[in-house]
Chains A and B, each alone.
Chain A
Amino acid sequence: MEQVIISKNKSPVLWTYTVKTGKKGQITIPKKIRDKFNIKKRDPFMITLMSDGSILLKRETKKIDKLLECIRALPKIDWDKAWKEIEEERHLERS
């Protein structure tokens, strides 16, 4: 992948990358951009076709970003199991 950096002060363009589409039309957002904007798996994006033929890819702002950020920072946990354990504990009290 060739990277062309256009970082002229007056230009709104910061970086330009060339990427190729995959089998089903997927494209990969370059790691540098993913890291810069903390883009994670399954983050939603809005794709807009502009009248000049360009395609705009805009990250959808999640209204509960802060909450999701907090949840995603946790280690991987089997939450179904956690709920079952809570239920079992409640049942213990009854018996």
Chain B
Amino acid sequence: MYYCADSWFVIKLFQEDERALNIINDVREGKDWLFIPFTVLAETSKKFMQLGISKKKINEFFDIIEAYAKVRFVILDKNIANEAATISLTHKLPLLDAFVAATSKICECHILLSGDKDYTLLAKSKYIKVQSW
């Protein structure tokens, strides 16, 4: 299974959510893949800094995640940028949401892990599959 993580999923990890931790465990054991767009890293890092968490701690967290064999941080490349621009226009999505959805699509992820309601339309049109709990 290929997962794409939205900031929502990162927050779930910080909440020690059991399902989120199970997914991480499966990724760590090599059963599944997890793709994290760099935009998610930027968005969550900004929020964590606003909450007073040190850059050192934030880096430590993402370093641990990145060390898992089947985790990939995804660079915003031309393909993703073009795709994001298109779906941002066609589905009236904020660009940041569009970057995440486009990453999920381009990386051929089976599921985008997100609780953001803005993805409902994309999920309904079967552009991507979204999972939340």
Contact = CB atoms under 8 A, between A and B. Distances in A.
Interface residues of A, number: 23
Contacts of B14: 71, 74, 77, 79
Contact of A83 (B11, B24, B52, B97): B11
Given A70-B57, A74-B53, A83-B115, A93 B65 contact: no
A73 B94 contact: no
B96 interface: yes
Given A75-B52, A90-B116, A64 B28 contact: yes
Give the size category of B's interface with A.
20 to 34
Interface in B40-99: 43-44, 47, 51-53, 57, 60-61, 64-65, 92-97
Nearest to A77: B51
A8 to B, nearest CB: 40
22 contacts: A63-B25, A67-B65, A70-B61, A70-B64, A71-B14, A71-B16, A72-B16, A73-B57, A74-B14, A75-B52, A75-B53, A79-B14, A82-B11, A82-B51, A83-B7, A85-B47, A86-B43, A86-B47, A91-B94, A93-B95, A94-B94, A94-B118
